[in-house]
Structure 1
Amino acid sequence: MDPFDDETDNVSSTPPPSEPSTNSTSSVHEPSRFPDYQTWTTERFKRFPNFTACHDPSRERTWWWQFGFRMKDHGSESHKIVWVCERCFLRNKTKAARYTFIASTAGSIVRHLRKEHKVVQPVGSHEEVALGTGAAKRNVLDMLRADPKNPRDQSLLSNLHTLFDPAMNQLLLLDWLTYHNLPFNLVNSERFKRLLLYNNPCLQEGQIPSDRTLVNLLEKEYNRALDPVKVLQKARSMIHFTFDGWTSRQNTSFLGVNAHFIDRNWKQWRILLALPALRKRHTGAALADEVADTICAFSLRNRIGYFTLDNATNNDTAMEALAYEFDFDQYERRIRCAPYFLNLAVEAMMYGGKKDNFAELLSDLWR
């Protein structure tokens, strides 16, 4: 039961997006900036038939990507990823072939930058080949019936690709798996990958995270979500607790442990500290173990206030165990849940001692 009103502030459990993961080895010197893809106007696309923007920071980890655009050439059968020199492009040089290179040919890109622009590899960095893949089972050109030789279609395709965020795609995938309690190795299924690639041709096969990547991402998001809980350390009041059990439709039991307090700005807070699954019987000792672990995990043993609980017998036993663990008076620190108490009183007045056969009493009255 929650003794506080609806005006209590709740800490959001939605974490901010994490950094995108990549399957490639990170280089020592990653690009500090990327070219401005907004410079690819319809007029400029006319000089590059079959080209569309394919910007993906998670795959542009080599130093020379800060000097060139990542584009996809739909004119080739394999839809190759190419590098277009930004400086030459902005100067509107006519012979595009002289400053357009397949992204996997790092040597040609480095030679062009050194020879034409006196740009050399930064000290301390090492080369990394950026690989592009057109692994989608359905091509985006076929999906949209677009013409890569039409500058307007080129601009449309480029905008479509840049609007897709691989990092958000990973977060949504993680949210789906955790919300429905699905196994993480589901993402390793070839059929699942084919489904994703078919539904989103902008997605590349290398952007589909593995189960290990999602586990690491889950740990990052969990640690990120813990940041708001640090407000506990700045509380003006003692930390008060409510806890109660809940059973899912799959018959899995959980124990919700909430903290309630007032911060230094006199703002009232309510935070869910833990929601552990109860593997054991719902005895008072088992409940007390989970609550005690939560209190110790957040270093709150010296700031324990009051506990508001319903009148269940196992809560009495739990309070006895917690009082022994943290050395406080269980009767002084226990607050009965008022709505639950009133509900019991109303039921007693309505049904008396014959609640179980109340339906029979009603039927007798209407005979």
Structure 2
Amino acid sequence: MMIVDELPFRFVEKRGFRKFCRVGMPRFDVPSKRTIVRDILQMYVDMKTSLMKQFKERKVRVCLTTDTWTSIQNINYMVVTAHFVDENWQLQKRVLSFTQILDHRGETIGKCIEKLLIDWGIDRVFTITVDNASSNNTVILYVNRKLNSWHADGRFWLASICIYGVVHIL
């Protein structure tokens, strides 16, 4: 409920929620905010471990998409999503990172992607789709250079696409 409905963790401490639980489910012991945070973080760690294992054991090639934006408070954010085909030939997508970034420059985005690849143990990137056309080439060159240093045999393919540019052309 907390994740699906994007509720703040402190929601379980609210008087209305506690009353609702007492009336609707009298035997239910409402967990504390601390327990909710602990359990959700453990779920994240478990899911990340499972996904990392899948990437490694199945030698999955991932396609990455990035999106960057600036909030009303002038804070820059970036999300990186992995797209891949699972063992049942079903297309999957998972958000790997949602983070603050200093700026929208290609090198900054490239360094964030590099850190993500290291943190997740991903070394088989098929494509990267970048939403910022001006940063596109810099991001691809940066990540390409890093992947080349990781792969002595050079067996990977990396392409960049600015989806907004493609839509604009159509």
TM-score where L is the length of structure 1: 0.37
**Which residue of the partner structure matches residue 104 of structure 2?**
282
**Which residue of the partner structure matches residue 324 of structure 1?**
145
Alpha carbons of 1:322 and 1:208: their partners in 2 closer, same or farther (altered >3 Å)? same
Q: Name the SS for the 1:327 alignment partner.
A: helix
Q: Percent identity?
A: 21
AA in 2 matched with 1:215: V
- 1:245 equivalent in alignment to 2:81: no
Match of 1:272 among 83, 94, 97: 94
**Which residue of the partner structure matches residue 82 of structure 2?**
259
**Which residue of the partner structure matches residue 297 of structure 1?**
119
Displacement of 1:289: 2.2
* Distance of 2:17 and 2:84 partners within structure 1: 45
* Distance of 1:273 and 1:198 partners within structure 2: 35
* Distance of 1:179 and 1:251 partners within structure 2: 23
Q: Name the SS for the 1:244 alignment partner.
A: strand
Q: Name the SS for the 2:41 alignment partner.
A: helix
Displacement of 1:278: 1.9
How many residues were matched structurally? 161
* Distance of 1:296 and 1:236 partners within structure 2: 15
**Which residue of the partner structure matches residue 134 of structure 2?**
313
* Distance of 1:238 and 1:224 partners within structure 2: 21
Once superposed, which parts of structure 1, at least 4 consecutive aligned residues long, lie more than 4 Å away?
185-188, 246-253
Q: Name the SS for the 2:127 alignment partner.
A: strand
* Distance of 2:31 and 2:60 partners within structure 1: 44
Displacement of 1:198: 3.0
RMSD: 3.4
Superposed counterparts of 1:16-55, under 5 Å = none
**Which residue of the partner structure matches residue 17 of structure 2?**
196
TM-score where L is the length of structure 2: 0.70
- 1:336 equivalent in alignment to 2:161: yes
Note the alpha carbon deviations across 1:278-316, whole angstroms, 9 max, x for none: 241122122112211221122112x23232335611222
- 1:222 equivalent in alignment to 2:50: no
* Distance of 1:239 and 1:197 partners within structure 2: 43
Alpha carbons of 1:269 and 1:278: their partners in 2 closer, same or farther (altered >3 Å)? same
**Which residue of the partner structure matches residue 175 of structure 1?**
3
CA contact (8 A) 2:78 2:101 kept: no
CA contact (8 A) 1:236 1:264 kept: no
AA in 2 matched with 1:345: I
Which stretches in structure 2 are left out of the alignment for 5+ residues?
none
Displacement of 1:208: 2.8
Displacement of 1:274: 1.6
Displacement of 1:216: 0.7
Displacement of 1:252: 5.6
Superposed counterparts of 1:67-106, under 5 Å = none
* Distance of 1:225 and 1:252 partners within structure 2: 28
CA contact (8 A) 1:241 1:257 kept: yes
Q: Name the SS for the 1:305 alignment partner.
A: strand
Which stretches in structure 1 are left out of the alignment for 5+ residues?
1-171, 347-367
Note the alpha carbon deviations across 1:43-95, whole angstroms, 9 max, x for none: xxxxxxxxxxxxxxxxxxxxxxxxxxxxxxxxxxxxxxxxxxxxxxxxxxxxx
